[in-house]
Structure 1
Amino acid sequence: MTPREAMRACEGCASHSFTYALSVLGVLALVCTPQIAWSQAFESRAPYAFLYDVNSRTVLYTQRANERFEPASMAKTLTTAVVFDGIAQGTFDLETTFPISEDAWRRGGGPSGRAAMFAELGSSVAIADLLRGLTIISGNDAAIALAEGIAGSEEAFAEQMSELAMSYGATNSAFTNSTGQPERGMYTTARDLVVATTALIDSHPNLYAMFAEDQFSWNNITQRNRNPIFNQIAGADGLFAGFSDEAQYGLVGSVIRDGRRVVFALSGVDTPEGRVDEARRLVRYAFEDFRTVRVAEPGEPIAFARTYGGAQRQVGLMAEQGALELLLPREGVDRVRARVVYESPIPTPIAEGQQLGRLLVERDGTIIQETPLVAASQVETGSMVQRARDGFLELVLGWIPPISFAGSF
């Protein structure tokens, strides 16, 4: 079955109400995806995994993606996001300096024996340098200094991390410190890490570029990028690896090739080498086992929905932005289905470009892609006769509006 035939199999589908609001876009599509693996062509060796194509907003793989685990240093994704957000809002800037407290130095710096930028006790360091110490070498002293400088305490900063995660749609996470050091009440999921990472990259692409810097020097100490997939997987440009005795080895990563970006998170691998190997397998699967299929040109309706009381009895539904493209697996496309959902009846007048519904692409019962649909043309309110006709049909028959896909997919 071709992709177009698979989509036509849903002809006649309609919905009187949405599972969630019409305004759902982008990242929320992956937040709402059920927690089952939709592709049987690939199986991750990581107990927890989530793989997402950012360009097409398509879920590529999911395994126990909503089950909680300790984030370890992957929590620094939210540490970074809070700092980026504050810079974007003008609360502080890259030149603002924060002091290195004894706690930041002793618990996060050289004496800790953990990843550190080796900032000197009592020194003042610019946010730009602290951020590089955080994003390039995962420095715990940098994370603590940023938390204390921004919020006054690491505890208060962790509350900001949790709040920002929630605003991103990462609703199954809680943070109690800026470094990811295991503590009671600290948890996340593979899905939430991907949700937060995608939002961070979307919101702060220029600042995000720090993650891809090869090395960082501070206090006469030069360290290479500590991301274990940096320079190991082509196109890898972030973010953090983590380890704890309970969660084992994990990684939240991003890879971009030829303008296409995928983000993934994994956890529960028993060796650092196995973590890199599994990241490599996920990335290879994302870039080699999927293909992009264009199903509608810009401005081309993919379906027609009935209007209520309109001068025209139907309105075309088209993708909100540009052409409609689907990222589909090279194998098993026969299990892909698509359906259009919209709130019916659609009252008039309708403005061209008004959002009316969504195209949901599913495989094996799992939503893998969601595209907002808008009106392809304006529809004015009809005459009194037309309004009366639709009112009578709704009163007597109930509203069961037909929907038809445009053309043959």
Structure 2
Amino acid sequence: MRAVLSAFLIFALAPLAAAQTFETEATHAVIYDVETDTVLWSHNGDEPMPPASMSKLMTILMAFEAIDEGRLSLDDELPVSEEAWRRGGSASGSSTMFLDVNSRARVDDLLRGIIVQSGNDACIVIAEALGGTEANFAAMMTDRARELGLTSASFANSTGWPDPQQRISALDLARLAAIIIEEHPDLYEIYAEREFTYNGIRQFNRNPLLGVFDGADGLKTGHTSESGYGLVGSAVRDGQRRIIVFNGMGSERARASEAERLMRASFAEFAVYDLFEAGAEVGRAELFMGREADVALVTSEPISVGLSRAARREMSVAVVYEGPVPAPVAEGDVIAHLVVEAPGYDTQRFPLVAAAGVDRKGMFGRAADALVHLIRG
């Protein structure tokens, strides 16, 4: 038999109106709260997608980690190979920081060439310095991403150039951005720079949020014919940091408009709601043949959910378990779940554990319970 217990009445809010689901024209999108590692909203956010130049975030993370570990220095001068110049530089006609073939470039400049100017040539120089070849570096990128738990990620190159193996989800891009921000705060400041001049050529940061949205300080745009126009953006307001990721917009103008709309919504229309602290009693579960009739159900960790404010008004919370639960029950056993549902969101389930151990009744007690159970059907 499936037992369903209503949660505390604090959540039984009367719906004011049918909650409107938040929508976007992007093919993939995520709104993410950094402090709590909470997805506030997702549209195909778990689906691997072609990231275009947004995959340069992984290239940059690899460079930042090499600097922190002493394998690279900001003052190091790295060689610009013909491969980097031809495939990623001015000869290719693509995004470039205009490195000269067979020259040398400081790591400090190369980072800005990637972050501010989206230079493919700078990416390949970094890749060859750390991996020997770009292909080997791409394999290193994939391995490192998996180590970090970014399971959707696979990389074929350092630049985001179209390739069937170049894939990552919007959610993993958000988590990758959060790692860069939290683990490398000093180097992350480069992402807020509005322009960079190299080789006498002045180029401007393509992030449409910089200078438009108060608190915006990163991160990276992307565009190919396969991916459409996308962005990983981040901003801080009132001590809260939000990251938005979206892809598949039809034009640069549409990207700029959607970037501002999503970022404003991330603060104005979405929030993280704390439901229960760790160890909070949420309900009780009926026991079968236990020395106690029931047992308290408690949370094993804090429970929070990210929702739009409209969906929060129609959120429902319930304790669900298959019961009565047969004894014996050990303290800490997962015997129920807290189920949270809201319009436009997937159902979320959180484990609830027994607050104490309960032994099974003795032989005569079990016989009496079995008789009562038989009589009641």
**TM-score normalised by the shorter chain: which range applies?**
0.7 to 0.9
Give % identity.
Answer: 36
Change (3 A) 1:134 1:156: same
1:65 to 1:122, Cα distance in 2 relative to 1, 3 A: same
> Helix, strand or coil for the counterpart of 1:273?
helix
Q: Secondary structure of the equivalent of 1:93?
A: coil
Which structure is richer in relative contact order (CA contacts within 8 A, separation 6 or more)? 1
Cα distance change of structure 1 residues 217 and 292 upon mapping to structure 2, 3 Å threshold: same
Give a deviation string over 1:214-250, Cα, whole Å, max 9, x none: 3223233333322232222222222221111222211
Alignment of 1:348-367 (within 5 A): 361-364=340-343, 366=345
Give the one of 193, 196, 200 matched to 1:213: 193
Q: 1:331 and 2:310 equivalent? A: yes
- Matching residue within 248, 268, 284 for 1:268: 248
2:52 to 57, 72, 75: 72
1:252 and 1:187 map into 2 onto residues whose CA distance is 15
Cα distance change, pair 93–204 in 1 and its aligned pair in 2 (3 A): same
Contact kept, 8 Å, 1:58 with 1:368, in 2: the verdict is: no
**CA 341–257 in structure 1, closer or farther in 2 if over 3 Å, else same:** farther
* Aligned residue identity for 2:90: G
Q: Distance in 2 between matches of 1:128 and 1:356?
A: 55
CA gap 1:269/1:6 in 2 versus in 1, 3 angstroms: farther
Structure 1 spans left out of the alignment, 5+ residues: 10-38, 398-409
1:263 shift after superposition: 1.4
Aligned to 1:5: 9
Aligned residue among 259, 282, 298 for 2:239: 259
Of structures 1 and 2, the larger Rg is shown by 2
Among residues 197, 217, 224, which one is paired with 1:244 in the alignment? 224
Query: Aligned AA for 1:206?
Result: D
Given the alignment of the two structures, is residue 199 of structure 1 paired with residue 179 of structure 2, yes or no? yes
Q: Return closer, same or farther for 1:207/1:300 CA change in 2, 3 Å cut-off.
A: same
Alignment correspondent of 2:375: none
What is the TM-score when the length of structure 1 is the normalising length? 0.70
Q: Secondary structure of the equivalent of 1:331? A: helix
Which of 142, 161, 171 is the aligned partner of 1:162?
142
Q: Is the contact made by 1:73 and 1:181 (CA closer than 8 Å) also made in structure 2?
A: yes
SS in 2 for 1:210: helix
In structure 2, relative to structure 1, the CA distance for the partners of 1:124 and 1:348 (3 Å cut) is: farther
Whether the 8 Å contact between 1:109 and 1:118 is mirrored in structure 2 is yes
Q: Distance in 2 between matches of 1:356 and 1:197?
A: 36
Q: CA deviation at 1:369?
A: 7.5
For residue 111 of structure 1, give the secondary structure of its aligned residue in structure 2. Answer: coil
Partner of 2:374: none
| Equivalences for residues 25-104 of structure 1 within 5 A | 40-104=20-84
Is 1:105 the counterpart of 2:85? The answer is: yes
Q: Separation in 2 of the partners of 1:92 and 1:340?
A: 53
8 A Cα contact 1:144 1:154, kept in partner: yes
Per the TM alignment, residue 150 of structure 1 is displaced from its structure 2 partner at its CA by: 0.3
Q: Structure 2 regions of 5+ residues with no counterpart?
A: 1-6, 14-18, 371-377
Tell me, yes or no, if the aligned pair for 1:58 and 1:369 is still in contact at 8 Å. no
Q: 1:338 to 1:92 in 2, by over 3 A?
A: farther
Cα distance in 1 between the residues matched to 2:218 and 2:61: 13
How far the C-alpha of 1:4 sits from its partner, in A, is 5.9
| SS of residue in 2 equivalent to 1:264 | strand
Structure 1 CA distance for aligned equivalents of residues 339 and 75 of structure 2: 45
Mean Cα displacement is larger for which, 100-109 or 85-94? Answer: 85-94
| Aligned residues of 1:60 and 1:368 also touching (Cα < 8 A) | no
For the residues of structure 2 that align with 1:206 and 1:230, how far apart are their CA atoms? Answer: 18
Look up the match of 1:34.
none
Counterpart contact for 2:328–2:360, Cα < 8 Å: no
Per-residue deviation at 1:348? 6.8
Q: Compared with structure 1, are the counterparts of its residues 294 and 191 closer, same or farther at alpha carbon in structure 2 (3 Å cutoff)?
A: closer
CA contact (8 A) 1:108 1:139 kept: yes
